[in-house]
Amino acid sequence: MHKILLDTDIGTDIDDILALSFLLASPEIELLGITTAYGNTVLRGKIAYQVLAHLGRAGQIPIAAGQPATLTSSRPIFWPGHEGKNIDHVGIPDHVLLDQPAEDFILETVKAQEGEVTILAIAPLGNLARAILKAPDTMARVKRIYMMGGVFGRNDPTFLLPVTEHNIHSDPEAAQVVFESGLPITLVPLDVTTKTRLGQEELQALGEVDHPLARLLHAELSAWLPFVQAHDGREFTHMHDPLTAALLLRPALVVHSQSMCIGVETQGVYTTGQTVPISAAGFKHVEVVLQIDAPAFQSFFLERVLQLPVANPPNLEPLPEESGPR
Ligand code: BDR
Ligand code: CA
Judge whether 298 lies within some domain. yes
Judge whether 319 lies within some domain. no
What is the pLDDT, as a whole number, of residue 84? 76
Q: Does the C-beta of 12 come closer than 6 Å to ligand 1?
A: yes
What is the pLDDT, as a whole number, of residue 81? 80
Judge whether 324 lies within some domain. no
Residues ≥6 apart with Cβ < 8 Å to 280? none
Q: What is the largest CA-CA distance in the chain?
A: 56
Domain coverage including residue 76: 2-312
Q: Which of 44, 240, 247, 274 to mutate to test the pocket of ligand 1 (most atoms within 8 A of CB)?
A: 240
Q: What total of structural domains would you count in the chain?
A: 1
pTM for the full model?
Answer: 0.95
Least confident window among 121-125, 191-195, 313-317: 313-317
67-119 pLDDT, tens per residue? 999 999 999 998 888 777 778 777 899 999 999 999 999 999 999 999 999 99
Judge whether 320 lies within some domain. no
What is the pLDDT, as a whole number, of residue 280? 61
Q: Kindly give the pairing relationship between strand 286-292 and strand 185-188.
A: parallel
Provide the CB-side half-sphere exposure for 108 (13 A, CA): 12
Q: Kindly give the pairing relationship between strand 275-277 and strand 262-264.
A: antiparallel
Q: Where are the alpha helices (DSSP H) in 62-211?
A: 102-112, 126-134, 136-139, 166-169, 172-180, 190-193, 200-207
Judge whether 91 lies within some domain. yes
Q: Does the C-beta of 44 come closer than 6 Å to ligand 1?
A: no
Judge whether 325 lies within some domain. no
Ligand 2 centroid distance, CA of 66 (Å): 14
Cα gap 237→227, rounded to integer Å:
10
Atom of ligand 1 nearest to the CA of 9: 6
In the predicted structure, residue 122 carries a pLDDT above the cut 70:
yes
pLDDT band at 159 (very low <50, low <70, confident <90, very high): confident
85, 103 contact by CB (below 8 A)? no
Cα gap 279→288, rounded to integer Å:
14
What is the pLDDT, as a whole number, of residue 321? 52
Judge whether 322 lies within some domain. no
Q: Which of 164, 167, 171, 311 is nearest to 244 (CA)?
A: 167
Q: Does the C-beta of 244 come closer than 6 Å to ligand 1?
A: no
Q: Which of 16, 38, 148 to mutate to test the pocket of ligand 1 (most atoms within 8 A of CB)?
A: 148
Phi then psi for 33, rounded to 5 degrees?
Answer: 175, 170
Ligand 2 centroid distance, CA of 321 (Å): 30
In the predicted structure, residue 310 carries a pLDDT above the cut 80:
no
What is the pLDDT, as a whole number, of residue 82? 79
The CATH number of the domain where 208 resides is what?
Answer: 3.90.245.10
Least confident window among 198-212, 236-250, 275-289, 307-321: 307-321
Ligand 2 centroid distance, CA of 122 (Å): 4
Phi then psi for 321, rounded to 5 degrees?
Answer: -45, 130
